[in-house]
């Protein structure tokens, strides 16, 4: 059913009242400054990093691992669509997205589609997780909210079903191939993009 605007207003005000003290405690703890300092220290050492291999050999192991983990996470989420499994799938998809972005300059017209698909899938799963967390927060605060929450839960659950249905379809496209086959295909694109003349993608592997 329809949810009155007053219900959303009550929920938002309650969550904001919880957020502000939590944010203040975080900054007062000094953790944000500590993490920022550690990140700056790591960043200053990046130029000194050395790779055992260059070119495709430097990318292949991590790319295959992130793709395989994402594919496995999809299957786990399909078997048991818990909040944790869906969130894990999103993290693994995000890993793949970062890897694919490094390959995009080699074959933007081809790899670019996979980059967009991984980004879209990550956002679908991210929205789903946000709604799951929102539901948990509302449930935890139900006693302090003098409003009917059944319609809110129904709305959240319905939207999550829609997002998950879209995510599974996107996941089927992104993770359609076995990992080895996926890697061989991307390697062909990589080699063809670097060849001085026309190269058959069937023979570039």
pLDDT digits (tens, 9 = 90+) for 73-94: 999 999 999 999 999 999 999 9
pLDDT digits (tens, 9 = 90+) for 29-46: 989 899 999 999 999 898
Confidence label for 58 from pLDDT (cuts 50, 70 and 90):
confident
pTM confidence score: 0.85
- Distance in angstroms (rounded) separating the CA atoms of residues 153 and 139: 9
The closest alpha carbon to 128, from 178, 88, 163, belongs to 163
In which residue are the tokens 């944010």 written?
23
Domain ranges of the chain: 1-50, 54-194
Structure tokens belonging to residue 140? 């935890």
**Residues whose CB is less than 8 angstroms from the CB of residue 205 and which lie 6 or more positions away in sequence, other chains included:** 184, 187, 188, 191
- 23: pLDDT strictly greater than 50: yes
Contact 179, 71 (CB under 8 A): yes
pLDDT digits (tens, 9 = 90+) for 93-140: 999 999 999 888 877 777 889 999 999 999 999 999 999 999 999 999
Other CB atoms within 10 A of residue 189 CB: 17
In which residue are the tokens 């089927």 written?
172
For residues 86 and 148, the model is more confident at: 86
Least confident of 21-30, 49-58, 114-123, 139-148: 49-58
């Amino acid at each position: 059913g329809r949810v009155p605007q007053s219900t959303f207003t009550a929920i938002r005000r309650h969550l904001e009242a919880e957020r502000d003290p939590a944010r203040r405690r975080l900054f007062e703890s000094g953790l944000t400054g500590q993490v920022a300092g550690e990140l700056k220290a790591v960043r200053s050492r990046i130029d000194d990093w050395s790779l055992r291999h260059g070119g495709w050999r430097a990318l292949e192991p991590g790319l295959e691992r992130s793709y395989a983990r994402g594919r496995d996470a999809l299957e786990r989420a399909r078997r048991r669509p818990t909040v944790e499994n869906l969130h894990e799938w999103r993290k693994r998809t995000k890993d793949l997205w970062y890897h694919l972005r490094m390959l995009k300059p080699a074959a933007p017209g081809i790899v670019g589609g996979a980059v967009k698909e991984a980004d879209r899938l990550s956002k679908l799963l991210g929205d789903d997780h946000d709604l799951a967390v929102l539901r948990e927060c509302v449930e935890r605060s139900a006693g302090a909210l003098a409003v009917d929450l059944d319609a809110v839960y129904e709305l959240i659950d319905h939207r999550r079903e829609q997002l998950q249905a879209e995510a599974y379809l996107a996941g089927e496209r992104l993770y359609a191939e076995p990992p080895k086959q996926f890697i061989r295909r991307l390697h062909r694109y990589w080699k063809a993009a670097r060849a001085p003349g026309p190269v058959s993608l069937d023979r570039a592997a």
